[in-house]
Amino acid sequence: MQYELVRSNRRTLAITIDGSGRCVVRAPMRMPMAEIKKFIEEKRSWIENKLCEIELKTELAPREPEFKEGAEWVIAGNSVRIKFIAGAATGYAQLAPDEFICSKKLDLPGLIKFLRGFARDLFYWRVDKYAPVIGVEPLGIKVSEAQARWGSCSAQNVLNFSWRLIFAPPALIDYVVVHELCHIGCMNHSPAFWQRVAAVMPDYKQRRQALKQHGYLLKWFR
């Protein structure tokens, strides 16, 4: 059984499994490995059932959108149709209000490069909106290829977001942005952290739950 072990100053053991099937075991800093493995074994049945549920949801989840003429995509809440331009430069791509216009020669690496650039601009825009409200200032923003988590905040206050988050509804994009901003100066998920999130986003619990149903997006365009 694969899992990620995260040690911290917490007092108890805990296991979390996100929408992509990533299993994280959280343990006290000095807890013996034998005790951690015993705990995992005791929870094996629950873990396997949870992973089966996620696998079933993934099979029923919407499939990765096709990159072809006329295909409809939803990016940051906007519905656009793919339109190929013959004779355009190989790497040409542009997002219009209702069209995704690009070169007929645009390949997958080129497509992802363009979408990562769009994601970067989007995340900067949303961070600029919420950072002053929360009263924090990140040191930087990075766009990643993460396929197991939507975002993270480093100890240096650098925010990281998976570019695939652009396929999620705007309300969920904002939730991830607020969540990571709230980690600046509060690198845990304590009651104080969630109070901080709630002060900016009172309906964060509903958004958090909805985000779990979109874990399949992290598997797109691998």
Low-confidence ranges of the chain (pLDDT < 70): 56-61
What pLDDT is stored for residue 53 in this prediction?
Answer: 78
What pLDDT is stored for residue 63 in this prediction?
Answer: 78
What pLDDT is stored for residue 56 in this prediction?
Answer: 64
Q: How far apart, in whole angstroms, are the C-alpha atoms of residue 22 and residue 3?
A: 7
What pLDDT is stored for residue 33 in this prediction?
Answer: 95
What pLDDT is stored for residue 153 in this prediction?
Answer: 95
Task: For residue range 124-155, list pLDDT tens digits in order.
Answer: 999 999 999 999 999 999 999 988 889 999 99
Angstrom CA distances, 167 to 64, 97, 150, 218, stand at: 10, 16, 11, 9
What pLDDT is stored for residue 57 in this prediction?
Answer: 66
Q: Residue 159: beta bridge partners? A: 141, 153
Residue ranges matching CATH 3.30.2010.10 in the chain = 107-219
Phi, psi of 119 (to 5 degrees): -60, -45
Instruction: Give the pTM.
Output: 0.74
Fold for the domain defined by 107-219: Zincin-like (3.30.2010)
